[in-house]
Structure 1
Amino acid sequence: MVANMFAIAAWRDPEDYADLLLLSDRHGLHRLALVQHHLSSRIEGDRRLLLGSRFCHGLAPTHYGDLAEDLATTCARVGMRFMLAGAHEVEPGPDIETPEEFLRHYLDDGLPEWRAQIARYAEDPWSPYARRLNELAEQAGLPGLDITIGRFMAEMREHTESRDREMVAREIRRLVTESGLSQRDFATRLGTSPSRMSSYCTGQVTPSAALLLRIRRLARAVTQPRPD
């Protein structure tokens, strides 16, 4: 994996991207990105050797535009997963306000600074700042990078929505457990089918706000003793 990182960072031959595709198929995108993250973190003790940054440059769309579609898609996905790895461990970075400042960050900064920017808009991937980064990339004259940022934004939005769905499912499971009812009995009292109730508990389906209120009211009604 580290040899492949060095190859893409230094030479960017088509064979190197093909090897990246093989590595992702063999180990999975998530595991590959984590290993690459830890490898580059250990190697980059010297700020003059920004392996991770050069690797990301090599995965930018401007460098693999002529590759086959499956290779290009894999490069984009590996690049995103690699950048996201460890992003939750850094403090959100300051605002980037001008195209010149954006260009300086892109050319001169390393992964910690880049991940700080990811953490900055990961807090709210629907924020105006996230859209502003996209505009600055285009104004900075970095063709294709605005597409990459757009993909990051989509990835972060999908991650946030998935996390929110899991939080709702966890809340429903807690309410069912605290009610003392079986999931089937809870579904009957709620007026829905056991299979539908199961989909709410697993997060496969997210109930509407109105139905979530009904679930909370039912759990409260079951657990609270009736007045004499």
Structure 2
Amino acid sequence: MTPPAGSRPDPAPALPDQFGLRARQPIGAGLSEIVRDVLSRQERVEEQHRVLWERLVGHLDQRGRDRRTSALSAVSANFVALAVLDDPADDVTAARLARQLGAERVSRLQHRASGLLDTAPELPWTTVVVRRLLAPALRGGAPEGDAEGLGAVALRCQDLGRGLLFQGIDAGPAILVAAAVPVERVDDLVALLDDGSVAEWRRHLATLVANPWGPYAESITELARHADRPAAVTAVEWCREWGHEREREQIAHQVQRLVALSGASQRQFAARIGTSPSRLSSYVHGTVTPSAALFLRIQRASRALQAELAPHRSSSRGA
């Protein structure tokens, strides 16, 4: 039965008790407290937010009993709180989740929550959450405060907002329903920043990350300066950092592949290129990126080792 107009959406009666019981368990206690806190504020959820709230309650009712989904439940509850409630404490909770679980993981979970909870293809609620998390950046300022207080909360929230915004932009055409219409005027850039959705922003980001030092990136930067909108300059810088990170990952994958193809152990391969096994391991895992000269040396060493081992492999097959 459809609730009468003006009524407040209520969670399933068992849900608060369910998460209350789980909160007394050692594992997931803090995560359960986050869910319980959001559910306790049900009376403040306004009518226009009812669909989103009901989706959250349905998700919690379906998956909340599984302790393996505690993190997703907590992040989903916080996602809805950020979208529909005006409590600074929810920003603090988001920062706490980032500290506890890691910002990258929380951003991925927020993206999953977005897919489970958002109500339209243009992602209106995800847009609200991203705008809230990135509020200082969109205003053109930097998070203020001491390193352990409000400043730390704002910085962690900005990391989460950035991570959520960039989710899936390298997934190809599947996520990009239509290519972005290039921004060519100051007014268009201002409208995109002020009124655009996350779905629109991601389409433009996908164009930028494809060539973050190309003409479109330079054009956006120039328009942002004329419009006095440093947020757009920051977005281009983020795209360049994102590009650096993807290139670093690609180099690490290539180093791993070349070492594997050589047939040598990492210790043997490290000796061949004149470095230590631990240093080579840092190249393989991407924590350190080798110089261009060293990467060429790695390629040559892999080819040489493959050639040296080829006769042994042939004789082994013949035997």
Under a length normalisation based on structure 2, what TM-score does the superposition of the two structures give?
Answer: 0.57
CA displacement, residues 42-85 of structure 1 (integer Å, 9 cap, x when unaligned): 44434798212222232321399666211221221111011112
SS in 2 for 1:205: coil
For residues 69-218 of structure 1, the aligned pairs below 5 Å read: 69-89=151-171, 90-91=175-176, 92-140=179-227, 142=229, 146-147=230-231, 149-218=232-301
**Structure exhibiting the larger radius of gyration computed from Cα positions:** 2
Supply the distance in 1 between the matched residues of 2:301 and 2:228 (Cα, whole angstroms). 57
Counterpart residue identity of residue 181, structure 2: P
SS in 2 for 1:53: helix
Kept in 1, the 8 Å contact 2:122–2:197? The answer is no
1:140 shift after superposition: 4.0
CA displacement, residues 192-224 of structure 1 (integer Å, 9 cap, x when unaligned): 444444443333433332333333233323333
Q: 1:57 aligns with which of 101, 107, 131?
A: 131
Tell me what 2:54 maps to: none
Within the alignment, does 1:223 sit opposite 2:310 as a pair? no
Supply the distance in 2 between the matched residues of 1:66 and 1:222 (Cα, whole angstroms). 54
Within the alignment, does 1:30 sit opposite 2:112 as a pair? no
Supply the distance in 2 between the matched residues of 1:109 and 1:58 (Cα, whole angstroms). 14
Within the alignment, does 1:17 sit opposite 2:104 as a pair? no
CA displacement, residues 156-190 of structure 1 (integer Å, 9 cap, x when unaligned): 33333233233323323333333333333333333
Supply the distance in 2 between the matched residues of 1:15 and 1:189 (Cα, whole angstroms). 56
Supply the distance in 2 between the matched residues of 1:123 and 1:103 (Cα, whole angstroms). 23
Kept in 1, the 8 Å contact 2:143–2:155? The answer is no
Identify the range of structure 1 (44-53 vs 166-175) with the bigger mean alpha-carbon deviation. Answer: 44-53
Under a length normalisation based on structure 1, what TM-score does the superposition of the two structures give?
Answer: 0.76
Q: Which runs of 5+ in 2 are unaligned?
A: 1-74, 311-319
Tell me what 2:48 maps to: none
Identity, % of aligned positions: 34
Supply the distance in 1 between the matched residues of 2:252 and 2:142 (Cα, whole angstroms). 40
Supply the distance in 2 between the matched residues of 1:155 and 1:162 (Cα, whole angstroms). 10
* Residues paired across the two proteins, number: 222
Counterpart residue identity of residue 247, structure 2: D
Supply the distance in 2 between the matched residues of 1:77 and 1:154 (Cα, whole angstroms). 14
Supply the distance in 2 between the matched residues of 1:188 and 1:48 (Cα, whole angstroms). 54
CA displacement, residues 90-116 of structure 1 (integer Å, 9 cap, x when unaligned): 335231111211222234332211111
Counterpart residue identity of residue 98, structure 2: S
Counterpart residue identity of residue 40, structure 1: S
CA displacement, residues 6-43 of structure 1 (integer Å, 9 cap, x when unaligned): 44445544333223223333443223223332333444
Supply the distance in 2 between the matched residues of 1:160 and 1:178 (Cα, whole angstroms). 27
Kept in 2, the 8 Å contact 1:12–1:58? The answer is no
Kept in 2, the 8 Å contact 1:169–1:201? The answer is yes
Distance 1:113 1:219, change over 3 A: same
Supply the distance in 2 between the matched residues of 1:58 and 1:129 (Cα, whole angstroms). 27
Kept in 1, the 8 Å contact 2:186–2:226? The answer is yes
Counterpart residue identity of residue 162, structure 2: M
Identify the range of structure 1 (38-47 vs 206-215) with the bigger mean alpha-carbon deviation. Answer: 38-47
Distance 1:24 1:197, change over 3 A: closer
Query: RMSD of aligned C-alpha atoms?
Result: 3.3
Distance 1:224 1:112, change over 3 A: same
Distance 1:220 1:118, change over 3 A: same
